[in-house]
Amino acid sequence: MTDTPRFRSDMTVELVKHSAADTDVLWAARVSTAGEQSLEELEKDPERSKGLINYLMRDRHGSPFEHNSMTFFISAPLFVFREFHRHRVGWSYNEESGRYRQLEPVFYVPDASRRLVQQGRPGKYEFVEGTPEQLKTVEESMRASYEQSYRAYQEMLEAGVAREVARATLPVGLYSSMYATCNARSLMHFLGLRTQHEMASVPSFPQREIEMVAELMEAEWARLMPLTHAAFNTNGRVAP
C-alpha cells in the first residue's frame, strides 16, 4: 500500500460473473402457458422470441426479467455508493470496510469533461461547462483537502487509534470498492433513474459520476441480453 495520494476521474466496472441471457426471460415467461421447454425449443423462432420479450416489457410483466443474475465489481467514490445504496430491491452489496483494513489514498478529482456549474432552480436546472479558472480551483482545492485529511488519518493510525475511528476524517471523494449483484429487472430500474437517455420516456437527472458507473454496467448487460436491452430502449427505458 502506498501512502502517496492518487487521483482519478474515472470509474471501474467489471462483470465478475453472471447467469444472464435472453433465454432466461423466455423460459420464465413460457412456463405459464407451455410448461417446461428445452433451450432448443426456446431459440428455434428468433422473431417470436423477440416479440415475446417486447410484449412483456411493453405491458410490464416484470417477473420473467428476474430469473437471471449479474455480479459487478465497482470502484467509485464514496458519494457514488451513497446514491447507489438507495437501490435496495433486487440488489445485494458487499463493500470494502474501513473497520478491518487501512484504506488506500485514492481520491476523485473531476477532469475537464465534468460540467461544474449548476444553473436554474431545483427541479428545473442544468449543468454547464465551467471556466478554466473554476476547474483549476476545483483541482487544487480537492487535492489539498484530500492530502490533509489522509495525513490526519495516518497520524491517528500511527498513534494507535482504531481504524474505525480514524476513518472519520476521510472525505466522500475517497474511492471505495464493492460487489453488486442484481437481476435485469432491478438493473433496468437503476438505469431508468441513473442515466439520461434520448429514448427515455421519463426524464431523469442523475449526478454525472453515478451515471458513468451506470453506463458501464449497461454496456455489459446489453452484451449479455441484447433482446431485453433493445426492448427496454424501445419501450421508453422504464423497468417493467
DSSP code for 123: T
C-alpha–C-alpha distance, residues 176 and 105, integer Å: 10
DSSP state of 103: P
Contact (Cβ atoms closer than 8 angstroms) between residue 61 and residue 29? yes
E strand spans, 103-165: 106-108, 117-121, 124-128
* Residue 118 β-bridge partners: 127
Q: How many helices (H) and strands (E) does the chain have?
A: 9, 8
**Rounded Cα–Cα distance for residues 217 and 84 (Å):** 13
Task: For residue 103, give the C-alpha cell.
Answer: 484504506
The verdict on whether 194 is a catalytic residue reads yes
Q: How far apart are CA 23 and CA 19, in angstroms?
A: 11
Cβ neighbour number for residue 189 with a 10 Å cutoff: 19
Neighbours of 46 (CB within 10 A): 10
Instruction: Give strand pairing partners of 77.
Output: 175
Of the residues 114, 194, 223, 237, only one is catalytic, namely 194
Which three cell numbers mark 46? 428468433
Residues assigned a catalytic role: 194
